[in-house]
Amino acid sequence: MKVDNNFRNTVRIRVKGLVQGVGFRPFIYRLAHDHSLNGWVENSNDGVVIEVTGDTAVLEHFKDAIKKEAPQASNVVSITQELLDFQEFKVFEIVKSENASDAITDISPDIALCDDCLADLKTQAHRIDFPFINCTNCGPRFSIIKDLPYDREKTTMAPFIMCDVCRKEYTDVLDRRFHAQPVACNDCGPEYTLHLNGRTVKGIQEIVE
């Protein structure tokens, strides 16, 4: 039974625009926790879908914050809300993406390396001079996407299985690489080589020099 009162409702919120490959799901995850809301968020072919239960006033504030506080690299074109049958969720989570629409969302371009990742190149032991370093705020997007919705298994990063360290970062809500799809390091990510005068150069320092 659907309810519409001053207490608790369950709603589905659809966000369209440039909302994939820009850290939008981690943003929604943190925003929901900040508002003490439970439910889920997922990518779909035409954007991001959220189902959440909470007090009516809190839900309105949550929806407003999506637009006002969206990641800098994103571009929210529209936010719509639909009242659903009431459902009690125990947690808020990022769930597996679905392909329920023929529409296609905007795709993020590759994003220039952020200052934090530039610093990591010299300070993180497992990413010293790692040429494919990235986080939710920067790195490859358009150039690695093979299909939508945007998830690791639908990018050229699919064959590269995350090591334990990268997996820990990927699942840590407080980490800058929380749910960053291309996350990788020197231990588990892709390598590149330089073919120079008939010889193959693999060492990063040799290539840089």
Q: Which of 21, 20, 19, 16 is nearest to 138 (CA)?
A: 21
Q: Which domains does the chain have, with CATH numbers?
A: 8-94 (3.30.70.100), 115-208 (3.90.870.30)
Query: Count of alpha carbons within 13 Å of 162, Cβ hemisphere only?
Result: 18
User: Is the CB of residue 32 less than 8 Å from the CB of residue 93?
Assistant: no
pLDDT tens readout for residues 89-130: 999 999 988 765 566 778 899 999 999 999 999 999 999 999
pLDDT tens readout for residues 174-198: 999 999 999 999 999 998 877 878 8
pLDDT tens readout for residues 11-37: 999 999 999 999 999 999 999 999 999
User: Is the CB of residue 186 less than 8 Å from the CB of residue 160?
Assistant: no
Residue-level pLDDT at 205: 62
Spatial CB neighbours of 190, under 8 Å, sequence gap ≥ 6: 132, 157, 160, 184
Question: 1 pLDDT exceeds 60?
Answer: no
Residue-level pLDDT at 100: 54
User: Is the CB of residue 181 less than 8 Å from the CB of residue 154?
Assistant: no
Residue-level pLDDT at 204: 62
Q: For residue 200, report the phi and psi dihedrals to the nearest 5 degrees.
A: -100, 125
Model confidence band, residue 7 (pLDDT cutoffs 50, 70, 90): confident
Residue-level pLDDT at 6: 57
Residue-level pLDDT at 193: 79
Question: 208 pLDDT exceeds 60?
Answer: no
User: Is the CB of residue 122 less than 8 Å from the CB of residue 130?
Assistant: no
pLDDT tens readout for residues 40-84: 999 998 899 999 999 999 999 999 999 999 999 999 999 999 999
Query: Count of alpha carbons within 13 Å of 165, Cβ hemisphere only?
Result: 10
Residue-level pLDDT at 86: 96
Hey, what amino acid is at 24? F
Model confidence band, residue 148 (pLDDT cutoffs 50, 70, 90): confident
What integer is the mean pLDDT of 147-168?
95
